[in-house]
Amino acid sequence: MVGAVIAILAVLIIVLVVLIANIHIVPQAHAYVMERLGSYHTTWGNGLHVKIPFIDKVSKKINLMEQVVDFPPQSVITKDNVRMQIDTVVYYQITDCKLYAYGVTNPIFAIENLTATTLRNMIGELDLDGTLTSRDTINTKMRSILDQATDAWGIKVNRVELKNIIPPREIQDAMEKQMKAERERREAILRAEGEKNSAILVAEGRKQSAILEAEAEKQAAILRAEAQREARIREAEGEAEAILKVQQATAEGLRMLNEVPPCAQVLTLKSYETLAKVADGKATKIIIPSDLQNLAGVATTLAETVREQK
């Protein structure tokens, strides 16, 4: 009786262990390819799954996230017979688990060889300069070719990048010398352009300075002419005013003379004043009037008249 119980317990334990062993949890972004009796049965997505013992089998565990594979450098020859080393990086993602599991024996190895042959064919149509300057074009063409070829394997190629392009050492030295010469040429051109611009700026500065000096001299001449004109106007106005005053005084004198007829004594006195002006030392000849004695008598009479008035 005890032996039967132990046997039952042993069977139950074995069944429990088998059931536990056949319970699978598929993580996120992963998939399991299942076979039943040696043939493809289904693909498990993420979650809890139970397989039939001894009948179902997990054929392949697949990572559905985007993956990156860096292939070693490949030796290629350009159109102008330059041998170089190029290594590529491929970004791919598995889209069909059944095709990935049964389409090709080793998908990564197949992609590597397909990449190498495609790269050799494309580089063989380009020269060295074209290879160095056409990375984007090469990447786009290779991605298109690989993506089309790997559709049958359940793989989608998202991107292909040429990681390094390594030409021979002598080519690298020649390229470095060429780049150095090009930099020196550009430096010389920039220096010449700088000197040219500096000379132009100096000439423009001198031109502007000359123009400003000429403008200043012109303005100064205009101001001087205006000042001289103003001075002449003021001088002319002063002379005109003086002449006007003299004429007014003369007119006033004439008016007074017209109103009061001059006597003989006044006329005689004016005659003496005129004689004194004539004899001021500047005249070379003096004409004395014949009636000088009469004039003297008149003068004596005037003197006496003045004393009597005092």
If asked whether residues 308 and 246 sit together in one domain, one would say no
CA atoms of 102 and 98, how far apart (whole Å): 6
Region 178-206: mean pLDDT is 87
If asked whether residues 220 and 256 sit together in one domain, one would say yes
Model confidence band, residue 141 (pLDDT cutoffs 50, 70, 90): very high
Amino acid code (one letter) for 122 = M
Is the residue at 45 inside a domain?
Answer: yes
**Does the pLDDT at position 109 exceed 50?**
yes
Model confidence band, residue 297 (pLDDT cutoffs 50, 70, 90): low
Is the residue at 175 inside a domain?
Answer: no
If asked whether residues 43 and 80 sit together in one domain, one would say no
CA atoms of 84 and 269, how far apart (whole Å): 136
If asked whether residues 257 and 270 sit together in one domain, one would say no
Reduced to 3 states (helix: H, G, I; strand: E, B; else coil), residue 40 is strand
- The pLDDT tens digits of the residues spanning 31-43 come to 999 999 889 999 9
If asked whether residues 207 and 221 sit together in one domain, one would say yes
Question: Which DSSP state fits 286?
Answer: -
Return the beta strands (E) in the chain as ranges.
23-26, 30-36, 39-44, 47-50, 56-63, 67-70, 74-77, 83-94, 155-166
Cβ–Cβ under 8 Å, residues 110 and 155: no
Any idea which residue has 């001075």 for tokens?
231
If asked whether residues 92 and 159 sit together in one domain, one would say yes
If asked whether residues 45 and 81 sit together in one domain, one would say no
Give the phi and the psi of residue 91 in degrees, each rounded to 5. -105, 120
- The pLDDT tens digits of the residues spanning 223-237 come to 888 888 888 888 888
Cβ–Cβ under 8 Å, residues 82 and 128: yes
Any idea which residue has 């007074």 for tokens?
256
CA atoms of 36 and 57, how far apart (whole Å): 6
The CA-based dihedral angle spanning residues 168, 174, 176, 177, taken in that order and rounded to the nearest 10 degrees: 170
302: closest CA among 274, 275, 271, 264? 264
Domain end (from 220, 239, 261):
261
**Does the pLDDT at position 279 exceed 70?**
no
Is the residue at 296 inside a domain?
Answer: yes
Region 82-89: mean pLDDT is 90
**Does the pLDDT at position 308 exceed 70?**
no
Domain end (from 41, 63, 85):
63
Any idea which residue has 């990447």 for tokens?
139
Domain end (from 21, 39, 63):
63
Is the residue at 223 inside a domain?
Answer: yes
Least confident of 152-166, 232-246, 281-295: 281-295
Phi-psi domain of 29 (left: phi exceeds 0; alpha: psi -120 through 50; beta: other): left
Length of the chain as a residue count: 310
Cβ–Cβ under 8 Å, residues 113 and 93: no
Model confidence band, residue 304 (pLDDT cutoffs 50, 70, 90): low
Pair type for strands 74-77 and 155-166: unpaired
Is the residue at 236 inside a domain?
Answer: yes
User: Can you give the CATH number for the domain in which 120 is found?
Assistant: 3.30.479.30
Which structural domain, as residue segments, surrounds residue 19?
A: 2-63
pTM, two decimals, is: 0.55
Return the beta strands (E) in 116-186 as ranges.
155-166
If asked whether residues 46 and 72 sit together in one domain, one would say no
If asked whether residues 206 and 296 sit together in one domain, one would say no
CA atoms of 160 and 90, how far apart (whole Å): 5
If asked whether residues 210 and 269 sit together in one domain, one would say no
Give the count of domains, the chain: 4
- In this predicted model, which residue has the larger pLDDT, 21 or 121? 121
Is the residue at 156 inside a domain?
Answer: yes
Reduced to 3 states (helix: H, G, I; strand: E, B; else coil), residue 78 is coil
Cβ–Cβ under 8 Å, residues 87 and 164: yes
If asked whether residues 52 and 132 sit together in one domain, one would say no
If asked whether residues 43 and 123 sit together in one domain, one would say no
Model confidence band, residue 91 (pLDDT cutoffs 50, 70, 90): very high
Cβ–Cβ under 8 Å, residues 49 and 24: yes
Cβ–Cβ under 8 Å, residues 40 and 33: yes
CA atoms of 58 and 43, how far apart (whole Å): 9
Q: How far is CA 191 from the centre of its chain?
A: 20
**Does the pLDDT at position 291 exceed 60?**
no
Pair type for strands 83-94 and 155-166: antiparallel
**Does the pLDDT at position 302 exceed 50?**
no
Is the residue at 185 inside a domain?
Answer: no
